[in-house]
Amino acid sequence: MSPQRRGLIPEPQMSALKAAQQSAADASEQYQLAVADALKAGGSIREVHDVTGLSTSTAQKWGRAHGWPTPGQRKQWADEQAPRDEWAAQLRAARAVLGDDL
């Protein structure tokens, strides 16, 4: 069997290929924005994974690339973390006084 001859792509098929390539790029951007919007709306990384099958690291990467977490989310998370940090400090203080028996 002889090797296939190199052939040129006819113009109509070339145009169709280029249009499809652009459509794929646009769809990819739209997908990334939809993931980021879901996260900014309060969805979790795990929920995005469960719904889309997208890896959690990719969901985080896309979210961060498009403005997630929002300043409001960062503040809310910090406010929720403050009581836990206070409790951890109290526990460390108690362990210092009582030893590691706690």
Taking the model in full, what pTM does it have?
Answer: 0.73
User: So what's the pLDDT on residue 64?
Assistant: 97
Q: Which of 18, 16, 22 lies closest to 30 in space, CA to CA?
A: 22
**Residues of the chain predicted below pLDDT 70:** 1, 4, 101-102
> What residue spans define the domains of the chain?
10-68, 69-102
User: So what's the pLDDT on residue 1?
Assistant: 63
